[in-house]
Amino acid sequence: MIKKRYILNFPPESGDKPLSYCLVKDYDISINILKAEVYPGKRGSLLLELQGKKENIQKGVEYLTAQNIICEPLEKRIHFQEEKCIDCGNCTAVCFAGALTMDKVNWKLDFDKEKCVVCELCIPACPLKLFYIDFS
Amino acid sequence: MWSGYFLSIGAAVSIFLFHKKCQKMKTYEEINLKIKSGKAVVLTAEEVSRMALEVSPEEIVEKVDVVTTATFGAMCSSGAIINFGHASPPIRMEKINLNGVPCYEGLAAVDSYIGATACCPDNPAYGGAHVIQDLLEGKDVVLEAWGKGTDCYPRKHIKTTININTINEFILFNPRNAYQNYNVAVNTTHKMIHTYMGTLLPNMRNATYSTSGELSPLLNDPEFRTIGIGTRIFLGGAQGFVAWPGTQFHTTRPKNELGIPVTNAATIAVIGNLKEMSPEYIKAAYFEKYGVSLFVGIGIPIPVLDVDIAKRVSVNNSQIQTSVLDYGTVGMPKLGEVSYEELRSGSINVNGTKIRTAPVSSLAKARKIAEELKLQLQCGEFEISKPVQLFKKNTSLKSLKETEANND
Q: DSSP per residue over B261-315, as a string?
A: BSSS---EEEEEEGGG--TTTEEEEEETTTEEEEEEEEEEEEE--SHHHHHHHT-
Confirm or reject CATH 3.30.70.20 for domain A77-134, answering yes or no: yes
Does residue B364 belong to the interface with chain A, where contact is any CB pair within 8 Å?
Answer: yes
Q: Which of A88, A106, A110 is the best mutation test for B, with the most CBs of B within 10 A?
A: A88
For residue A90, the chain B residues in CB contact (below 8 A) are: 198-199, 208, 358, 360
Residue B110 Cα distances to B83, B113, B204, angstroms: 6, 10, 49
The answer to whether the Cβ–Cβ distance between B201 and A125 falls below 8 Å is: no
Residue B283 Cα distances to A84, B20, B103, B247, angstroms: 10, 48, 19, 22
Which of A107, A108, A125 has the CB atom closest to B199's CB atom?
A125
Q: Which of B71, B182, B199 is the best mutation test for A, with the most CBs of A within 10 A?
A: B199
> Phi-psi bin for A120: left (phi > 0), alpha (psi -120 to 50), beta?
left
Q: Nearest residue of B to residue A87 by CA position?
A: B362
CATH number of A2-73: 3.30.70.260
Q: Which of A86, A101, A103, A122 is the best mutation test for B, with the most CBs of B within 10 A?
A: A86
Yes or no: say if B244 and B173 are a contact pair by the CB < 8 Å rule: no
- Residues B161 and B143: their CA atoms lie apart, in Å, by 6
Q: Tens of pLDDT along B222-281?
A: 999 999 999 999 999 999 999 999 999 999 999 999 999 999 999 999 999 999 999 999
Does residue B236 belong to the interface with chain A, where contact is any CB pair within 8 Å?
Answer: no
In 3D space, the residue among A118, A125, A131, A123 whose CA is nearest the CA of residue A49 turns out to be: A118
Residues whose CB is less than 8 angstroms from the CB of residue B230 and which lie 6 or more positions away in sequence, other chains included? B241, B242, B385, B386, B387, B388, B389
- Residues B267 and A103: their CA atoms lie apart, in Å, by 29
Summary mean pLDDT of chain B: 95
Q: Are strands A2-10 and A43-52 parallel, antiparallel or unpaired?
A: antiparallel
Helix ranges restricted to H, A5-127: 19-27, 54-66, 90-94, 122-125
For residue B208, the chain A residues in CB contact (below 8 A) are: 89-90, 93
- The conformation of residue B389, written as its DSSP 8-state character, comes to B
Does residue A129 belong to the interface with chain B, where contact is any CB pair within 8 Å?
Answer: yes
In this structure, is the dihedral angle defined by the CA atoms of residues B321, B327, B328 and B330, taken in order, positive or negative? positive
E strand or H helix at B231? none
Q: Which residues pair with A77 in a beta bridge?
A: A134
The pLDDT, as a whole number, for residue B4 is 55
Q: First-to-last CA distance in chain B?
A: 97
pLDDT surpasses 90 at A77: no
The pLDDT, as a whole number, for residue A16 is 65
Which of B283, B288, B346 has the CB atom closest to A86's CB atom?
B283
pLDDT surpasses 90 at B186: yes
B152 is catalytic: yes
Measured CA angle at A105 (ends B63, B379), to 5 deg = 40
Domain extent listing, chain A: 2-73, 77-134
The pLDDT, as a whole number, for residue A14 is 64
Torsion angle in degrees (nearest 10) through CA of A55, A57, A62, A66: 140
Q: Which residues pair with A30 in a beta bridge?
A: A51
The pLDDT, as a whole number, for residue B11 is 58
Number of H helices, E strands in chain B: 8, 24
Yes or no: say if B70 and B219 are a contact pair by the CB < 8 Å rule: no
B208 three-class SS: strand
Please report, as a single letter, which amino acid is at residue B55: V
The answer to whether the Cβ–Cβ distance between A89 and B361 falls below 8 Å is: yes
pLDDT surpasses 60 at B181: yes
Confidence band of B359 (pLDDT split at 50, 70, 90): very high
Neighbouring C-alpha atoms within 13 Å toward the C-beta of B48: 37
ipTM of the shown complex = 0.91
- Residues A19 and B5: their CA atoms lie apart, in Å, by 97
What phi and psi values does residue B176 have, to the nearest 5 degrees? -150, 105
The answer to whether the Cβ–Cβ distance between A107 and B364 falls below 8 Å is: yes
The pLDDT, as a whole number, for residue B18 is 53
- Given the residues B22, B119, B152, B379, the one annotated as active site: B152
pLDDT surpasses 60 at B190: yes
For residue A127, the chain B residues in CB contact (below 8 A) are: 74, 285-287, 293, 295
Q: Tens of pLDDT along B85-103?
A: 999 999 999 999 999 999 9
The pLDDT, as a whole number, for residue B41 is 98
Q: Which residues pair with B200 in a beta bridge?
A: B193
The pLDDT, as a whole number, for residue B10 is 57
Confidence band of B23 (pLDDT split at 50, 70, 90): low
pTM given for the model: 0.86
How many beta carbons lie within 10 A of that of residue A134, not counting itself?
A: 9
Residue B253 Cα distances to B54, B211, B250, B266, angstroms: 31, 17, 7, 9
- Residues B384 and B301: their CA atoms lie apart, in Å, by 7
Does residue A102 belong to the interface with chain B, where contact is any CB pair within 8 Å?
Answer: yes
Q: Tens of pLDDT along B101-146?
A: 999 999 999 999 999 999 999 999 999 999 999 999 999 999 999 9
The stretch B354-372 carries a mean pLDDT of: 98
Among the ranges given (A51-65, B38-52, B249-263), the one the predictor scored with the smallest mean pLDDT: A51-65
- Residues B118 and B100: their CA atoms lie apart, in Å, by 10
Q: How far is B122 from chain A (nearest CA, A)?
A: 18
pLDDT surpasses 60 at A93: yes
Residues whose CB is less than 8 angstroms from the CB of residue A45 and which lie 6 or more positions away in sequence, other chains included? A7, A8, A9, A10, A36, A37
The pLDDT, as a whole number, for residue B17 is 53
A76 three-class SS: coil
- Residues B352 and A78: their CA atoms lie apart, in Å, by 35
The answer to whether the Cβ–Cβ distance between A87 and B208 falls below 8 Å is: no
For residue B365, the chain A residues in CB contact (below 8 A) are: 86-87
In 3D space, the residue among B124, B110, B183, B123 whose CA is nearest the CA of residue B153 turns out to be: B110
The answer to whether the Cβ–Cβ distance between B199 and A129 falls below 8 Å is: no
Measured CA angle at B243 (ends B239, B247), to 5 deg = 125
The pLDDT, as a whole number, for residue A116 is 87
The answer to whether the Cβ–Cβ distance between A90 and B358 falls below 8 Å is: yes
Residue B241 Cα distances to B13, B171, B227, angstroms: 44, 12, 10
